[in-house]
Amino acid sequence: MPPPLTREERRHYSDRLREARYAALADAEGFSQICFAVEALGLRLLGRQADLGTYLPAIRPLAQASLTLFDLAGDCPSLFTPFEALYEGLRMARNDAMHSGAYARHATTQAMELCIGLEEALMADKPARKTVADYMVKSPVTIEFWQPVARARQLMLMYSFSYLPVYIDGWKLVSEAALAKYLHKRSESRELLATTVEKAYSSGLQLIPVTPVNASDDVQELLKKLDLTKDCSLWLVTGSADHLCGVLSPFELM
């Protein structure tokens, strides 16, 4: 029998499930990444290579720590789907050749719901998570200053981002509101989209300057200081030489 998951392993598999969910957000029919993430977790818990069906008995005890997959699924069946049903839906979609259209979108939605529950279960261990490093997204999507505004627009629409980090004389954020305002200020939308982010910044695109935080910072302290009426709700996490090593939003803290 494999040893219990360490705290570091729990964080690793939670991050992998979350990254798979983000990939599915960019592709409504893209549940394959979620399958791979669940299979990786099953392999670790079972201790040998198998298929999703065989991994179920190894994953179920872990999943029981999830309030949404078990307790709330029983109390509010119209709002939450039970673990067994979500897992079986993922297994069937994994093996089914009909991966398109409404079928695939439904399978992806159920797979994402399973991911959220498994992430909750993985991070229900003690001691509780306290620092930015415990929650942050470690492979943040950014825009380069030399890339066109069209690339920033593409990334924000693909991933439903409200903010996108860019480094121009320090870290700043492109916001969806600022980008919309910039693109609609004149009629030459093609010209504006082809302009580099740096040039757009110098000619009117408003960027939000940010003060980066450290991976070791306490999450509760950050939330206490957050002014919902003024502050941007995305923290940039930097290491040495201003290297961006992660981002943190309230989305990850929910």
CATH number of residue 232's parent domain: 3.10.580.10
Residue type, 7: R
**Backbone angles phi and psi of 192, in degrees to 5:** -65, -40
Q: Rounded mean pLDDT of 138-147?
A: 92
146 and 245 co-located in one domain: yes
Range of the domain at 149: 134-253
pLDDT at 111 over 60: yes
Q: What whole-number percentage of the chain has pLDDT above 90?
A: 57
Q: Tell me how far apart the alpha carbons of residues 81 and 211 are, in angstroms, rounded to a whole number.
A: 41
Q: Tell me how far apart the alpha carbons of residues 67 and 72 are, in angstroms, rounded to a whole number.
A: 6
Q: Rounded mean pLDDT of 130-157?
A: 91
Decide if 1 is inside a domain: no
Are the C-beta atoms of 18 and 123 separated by less than 8 Å? no
pLDDT at 23: 82
The tokens for 219 are 């999450």
Q: Tell me how far apart the alpha carbons of residues 183 and 190 are, in angstroms, rounded to a whole number.
A: 9
pLDDT at 241: 82
Last residue of a domain, one of 98, 128, 158: 128
Decide if 2 is inside a domain: no
pLDDT at 28: 60
What predicted TM-score, i.e. pTM, was given to this entire model?
Answer: 0.74
Task: Please give the distance of CA 144 from its chain centroid, rounded to a whole number.
Answer: 21
pLDDT at 42 over 90: yes
How many other C-beta atoms lie within 10 A of the C-beta of residue 250? 12
115 and 147 co-located in one domain: no
pLDDT band at 69 (very low <50, low <70, confident <90, very high): very high
pLDDT at 217: 94
pLDDT at 47: 95
pLDDT at 51 over 90: yes
Q: Rounded mean pLDDT of 70-92?
A: 91
Decide if 105 is inside a domain: yes
Higher-confidence residue: 95 or 45? 45
Decide if 22 is inside a domain: yes
Give the ranges where 96-229 is alpha helix by DSSP (H): 101-122, 149-159, 176-183, 189-194, 197-202, 219-225
Decide if 240 is inside a domain: yes
pLDDT at 26 over 90: no
Q: Which of 12-26, 42-56, 87-101 has maximum average pLDDT? A: 42-56
DSSP 8-class letter at 174: E
Last residue of a domain, one of 111, 128, 145: 128
The tokens for 113 are 């719901």
Q: Rounded mean pLDDT of 134-160?
A: 91
Average pLDDT, the chain: 88
pLDDT band at 129 (very low <50, low <70, confident <90, very high): confident
104 and 214 co-located in one domain: no
> Domain tally for the chain?
2
Q: Provide Rg for the chain, Cα atoms.
A: 21
Q: Which residues pair with 166 in a beta bridge?
A: 172
DSSP 8-class letter at 133: G
Are the C-beta atoms of 140 and 239 separated by less than 8 Å? no
pLDDT band at 93 (very low <50, low <70, confident <90, very high): confident
Decide if 166 is inside a domain: yes
